[in-house]
Amino acid sequence: MKAIVQYGLILSLVMSINSSSLRAQGFHFSQYFNAPLYTNPANTGFIPESDYRIGAHHRSQGATGLSIYKTNAIYGDMQILRDRIAAGWVGIGGMILQDQAGIGRLRSTKISTSVAYHQMLGFSSLLSAGFGLAYANKAISIDRLTFSDQWNGRFFESTIPSQGAQITEPNPSYFDLSAGINYAYFPNDNFYLHSGLSLQHVNRPPESFFGYSNDSARIGMRTTLFLDAMYKVDNRIILSPSIYYSEKSKVSEFLFGAHANLNVSGDGRHQLIVGLYSRVGDAVIPVVGYQLGKFKFSFTFDIPGTSRKAINQFNGTELYLQYGGMYSVMSIKNHTMCPTFD
């Protein structure tokens, strides 16, 4: 009987949050190409044009006039030991992500740190490996949810006591491990290729509002593959195509597309960013942005491709800001791995 009651509570919780917010429980960015530490810990300190960078995301997604969930993230990473390691260096970084979803305000918070080692292979390629450690916490406002045992035959009555209040772990937390490997190839100043593989939830930590620790409560391992490139057409245009694939518990996400940096000032200081991406089977994602020196801004809007009803009910906007810099002018000689405007 107890198992039946717990099953009913889980089902009620799922129905209260709804399918859109369930999708948000895994952090989700349309601008995957601007989320290096989230995509792969081996990207930590892989910054072809800078010694350090700081980036921030804000994503809002949901029905028109009612936000289903919001995701915020901030990260930073830097290169160290460039003068101590022959043809190599170490990257260190950190990231904070927070997501709020659904009527029950399901809140997910993750604080992570990562480290990566980067080694040149000759003069035209680079091999990187990294790992990350994160502390994750989830919380939900039980008082905002309604459960099956509060149904009075006509509507859900919040004044009726519910077994939902007996959830044993309203704030589950755990440590999470990730690992990854990358390879970069840059045969000349006009072409660059970068690919990688990462594994998240390597330790498969348990996550349950009911205190479960068995296999059914453990998070499935997430595998991510990506491939991106940069090609300098001339001193006015640099193209950046990419593809991204992620799979977890037999649920997958596949994105691809490209954007272009347009040299509007002639010296590369002012760059207009325009492009188009697609989340296969879900949405078309236009991107527009601007880069001014060390600062970069970009904006995307998910346009569902199924029907007018879907467009009215589900969309997503995403804003990204980044600042990258050098420790000194002398560092510039170490950054020749991607095309730049003269």
Residue 61 has pLDDT above 50, yes or no: yes
Query: Tens of pLDDT along 108-132?
Result: 999 999 999 999 998 899 999 999 9
Instruction: Give the model's pLDDT for residue 280.
Output: 92
Query: Tens of pLDDT along 258-293?
Result: 999 999 999 999 999 999 999 998 899 999 999 999
Instruction: Give the model's pLDDT for residue 208.
Output: 79
Record the pTM.
0.82
Q: How confident is the model at residue 337 (pLDDT cuts 50, 70, 90)?
A: confident
Residue 102 has pLDDT above 90, yes or no: no
Instruction: Give the model's pLDDT for residue 170.
Output: 73
Which of 13-17, 46-50, 137-141, 202-206 shows the lowest per-residue confidence on average (mean pLDDT)? Answer: 13-17
Q: How confident is the model at residue 250 (pLDDT cuts 50, 70, 90)?
A: confident
Q: Looking at residues 154-164, what average pLDDT do you find?
A: 59
Residue 72 has pLDDT above 60, yes or no: yes
Q: How confident is the model at residue 218 (pLDDT cuts 50, 70, 90)?
A: confident
Residue 19 has pLDDT above 60, yes or no: no
Mean pLDDT of all residues in the chain? 82
Q: Looking at residues 216-238, what average pLDDT do you find?
A: 93
Which of 38-47, 95-104, 138-147, 152-161 shows the lowest per-residue confidence on average (mean pLDDT)? Answer: 152-161
CB-facing half-sphere around the CA of 230: CA atoms within 13 A = 23
Instruction: Give the model's pLDDT for residue 328.
Output: 63
The domain locations on the chain are 22-144+173-334
Among 3.90.550.10, 2.40.50.140, 2.40.160.40, 3.30.930.10, name the CATH number for the domain at 22-144+173-334: 2.40.160.40
Instruction: Give the model's pLDDT for residue 6.
Output: 41
